Amino acid sequence: MKIPVGGIGCICALGGNTEEIKNNLFNSAASSSLPINRLNSFYSKSYPVYQAPAEILKSKNKDESFGFLFLRLAIEEALEQSGLTKTDLKKVRVGIIAGTSVNASFNCFDFYKDWRGGKEVSFEPLLYYLNTPLSRALQKYYGVQGPQMTITTACASGTDAVGIAAQCIERDLCDVVIACATDEINLIPFIGFIRLMIASSEPCMPFSLDRKGINLGEGAGVLILQSPKFLKERKTDAKGYILGYGTCADAYHPTAPDPNGIGLKRALNMAMKNAGIKKNEIAFINAHGTGTQDNDAAEAKVFNEVLKDVPVMASKSHTGHTLGAAGAVEAVLSLICLNVGEIAKTARFKAMDPALNIKPVTENTKISKDKKIALSDSLSFGGCNSVIALGCARYEDG
């Protein structure tokens, strides 16, 4: 597999576009906050989250969710980078593969709350949700017809969206695929992680000895995938490549990862085989790295077995856990690092946990010129494990 990425777009706590995100990623400029106006809960303890930039939040239309807003803006940026317009899209075979978690099931929260409380409600929000899954809403918005799918594999949704989108190109189903994922901060997962006792009241510290758990984040990541033929005809340059994809469900537990990382190990090996790459070609792996005890332990076990000595980056230390958007956001961040030629440090790592034997990159680190590949992995509820292999823009050079 070698699928060109024509353009990327992203919104997260690091910024409202990829240029802002690039600058802030290497300067650790993002910070967590306490969004009392968005998450009213009865917990006396405070749990910080990583919100999208304030100017982005203020631009939401009345009839759209924050999740759709993030995705709409990120797609616009990615299309602009690709040199594609809405008119261009109507002339070719365009697929839309969209990943989400909150937007798939929690976006009618106010309706559910009022209905359960016995209030008179309008069923319009519920009917809209049932009739317009995210990918279909995007299809209508851009006026295109082609394969469309909304992926809801919890926190692996974004990685699966990118991997399946690449397969659509590989199998000649599309000329262009908008591979994307989005999620917004929402009270249900916010309280859910607290009740699971894996939410951190401090900014998260992936893989650190004194890690305490997850911080939620929000945002969207977009990769415009194009067939090699289409890219060549348009005489444009790729911003990177999707080289491989692997996914495996281990069915170990509804919310906990397999402590032996069996599913992740298989997904990693599958992605590397699909890409035709070996360990010594990999510049780094952008880990799922949530900062929870069990998740970090399962990942560390697999990394030590399959990717020993490959540098580890944990980008959730900058963005928080963006749930269904995480895999796509992290794919964009991985491409940014590959193209800059530098691995962004993992924030707030203090001391190595001897039980993990993993020390992520703690300072921005130059990538050797012969290393052009990164892996990005996602673990999720339901035992989903997914991995993508990415190549930098100069992957085909020399």
CATH number at residue 249: 3.40.47.10
Domain count, the chain: 1
Q: Which residues contact 88 (CB under 8 A, 6 or more apart)?
A: none
Question: Is pLDDT of 28 > 90?
Answer: no
* 107: its two tokens: 């976006």
User: What mean pLDDT do residues 155-181 have?
Assistant: 97
Q: Write the DSSP string, 101-144.
A: SHHHHTTTHHHHHHHHTT----SHHHHHHHH--HHHHHHHHHT-
Question: Is pLDDT of 44 > 60?
Answer: no
* 281 inside domain: yes
CA atoms within 13 A on the CB side of 221: 31
d(CA 288, CA 267): 13
Q: For residue 255, what pLDDT is reported?
A: 86
Tell me the per-residue pLDDT of 268-299, one tens digit each, with 9 for 90 and over. Answer: 999 999 999 999 999 999 999 999 999 999 99
* 398 inside domain: no
CB atoms within 10 A of CB 6: 23
Asked whether 6 and 157 are in contact (CB, 8 A), the reply is no
Domain residue limits at 48: 3-391
d(CA 35, CA 39): 6
Asked whether 98 and 70 are in contact (CB, 8 A), the reply is no
Q: For residue 125, what pLDDT is reported?
A: 73
> Residue 390: helix, strand or coil by DSSP?
strand
Q: For residue 124, what pLDDT is reported?
A: 78
DSSP-assigned letter for residue 154? G
DSSP-assigned letter for residue 382? G
**Chain-centre distance of CA 53, in angstroms?**
17
Residue closest to 183 by CA, chosen among 354, 329, 61, 298? 329
Q: Say how many Å lie between the first and final Cα of the chain, rounded.
A: 18
Least confident range from 71-80, 255-264, 270-279: namely: 255-264
Question: Is pLDDT of 36 > 80?
Answer: no
Least confident range from 91-105, 223-237, 317-331: namely: 91-105
* 382 inside domain: yes
Residue closest to 268 by CA, chosen among 233, 289, 244? 244
Q: For residue 268, what pLDDT is reported?
A: 97
How far lies 12's CA from each of 20, 121, 263, 285, 316, in Å? 10, 33, 28, 20, 11
Q: Which of the residues are catalytic?
A: 155, 288, 321
* 216 inside domain: yes
pLDDT confidence band for 114 (50 / 70 / 90): confident
* 96 inside domain: yes
Q: Write the DSSP string, 260-291.
A: T-HHHHHHHHHHHHHHT--GGGEEEEE-----
